[in-house]
Amino acid sequence: MSDVLDQSDIDALLSAVDSGDIEEETTTAQIFSRNRRDLEHVEIKDYDFKRPERISKDQMRALQTLHDTFARNLGASLSGFLRTIVEVRVAHAEQMTYSEFIAGLPNPTSFNLVSAEELDGQLCLEISPLIIYPIIDRLLGGSNQDLFIPQRPMTLIETRLIRTILERGMTALSEAWESIRKIKFELGEMESNPQIMQIVPPNEVVVVLGFEIKMTSRAGTMSLCIPFNVIEPMIDDLSAQNWFLAGRMHAEHKWEELIAKRLADAQLQVTGVLAETTMTLADLRGLEVGDLIMTEKPASAPALVTAGGHPKFLAHLGQYKGNRALRIVRPVESTDRI
């Protein structure tokens, strides 16, 4: 029997498919799994083994939440400093290689190194000229109307002006990272060409947090690049559970200090009890001036000092600068019979 179909066989097969007598075969990619059975809803994505995901999604969300606080603090600080409303928000957070990050930056721009003694390595902060020059114009008394954005490196005066803005950013960044670890970020070298600065190898994985800065009618971007090897020692602290726990513990410690400070200024009544005795109500009603109340306590026995009605110390009765005084002997112990 020949395996070759003639024209009549082909026409018969096509007519059978059109009538529904024969169903078309669908080729589905076989996904090997012990549990999956529904292959029609399998989603296949490309995976680049040259750029593995070093940080989990939970840790990335924690980083983004952490820098949301940084964005709010920076916006509030710049609004007060520039006397205008400045909005800063996190636009995106992603992982990439350092070479891809550098390739996506404009030239010239404001490329700044950020260091901290607590971290083994450096970070970099890039601010777009689209927002740098409106900020400089605002600092110099301008209105940002018809402002021309020059395509050149910043001058020495412009660098010093923008450095005052970045110093405020370092303070806001340090405050945001306090929930993870106490880190003091400091501003390092500043360059206009990002290709000059190579803080890590080109294929090193970095976390890039993109920010959007808005000021009146002007807007620009800011990027914070964090190499993975810099935050690797504390990567476990960036998990959602540990991060929120650390934030809650930090808040509880803050409240403890505040409550202790308020209690330290509170007034408390202190009483010296020389002796105690009992008498009948009839004897109490019959007391007159000059009567003596007898106790069984010797005059040489220490007096009891109470604070807020609770026994705290034993003391001797005496006199200091013409006033009656009590000299503390020792605290009251649980074995003392009061």
The first and second tokens of residue 133, run together, are: 């020059």
What's the domain count of the chain?
A: 2
What pLDDT, on a 0 to 100 scale, did the predictor assign at position 252?
64
309 and 245 within one domain: no
221 and 106 within one domain: yes
pLDDT tens per residue, range 128-145 = 989 998 888 888 887 777
pLDDT tens per residue, range 198-253 = 888 888 889 999 999 998 888 899 999 999 888 888 877 776 445 555 555 555 66
232 lies in some domain: yes
State the CATH number of the domain containing residue 208.
Answer: 3.40.1550.10
What pLDDT, on a 0 to 100 scale, did the predictor assign at position 42?
67
326 and 215 within one domain: no
Distance CA 222, CA 210 (A): 6
pLDDT tens per residue, range 150-202 = 888 888 998 999 999 999 999 999 998 888 888 899 998 888 888 888 888 88
What pLDDT, on a 0 to 100 scale, did the predictor assign at position 213?
92
221 and 152 within one domain: yes
Supply the range of the domain harboring residue 304.
268-275+299-338
286 lies in some domain: no
166 lies in some domain: yes
pLDDT tens per residue, range 294-321 = 888 887 788 888 888 888 898 888 888 8
Helices (H), the chain: 7-19, 57-82, 98-103, 129-139, 156-177, 228-231, 240-264, 281-285
310 lies in some domain: yes
pLDDT-derived band at 27, boundaries 50, 70, 90: low
> DSSP class of residue 257?
H
The first and second tokens of residue 261, run together, are: 């400070």
337 and 231 within one domain: no
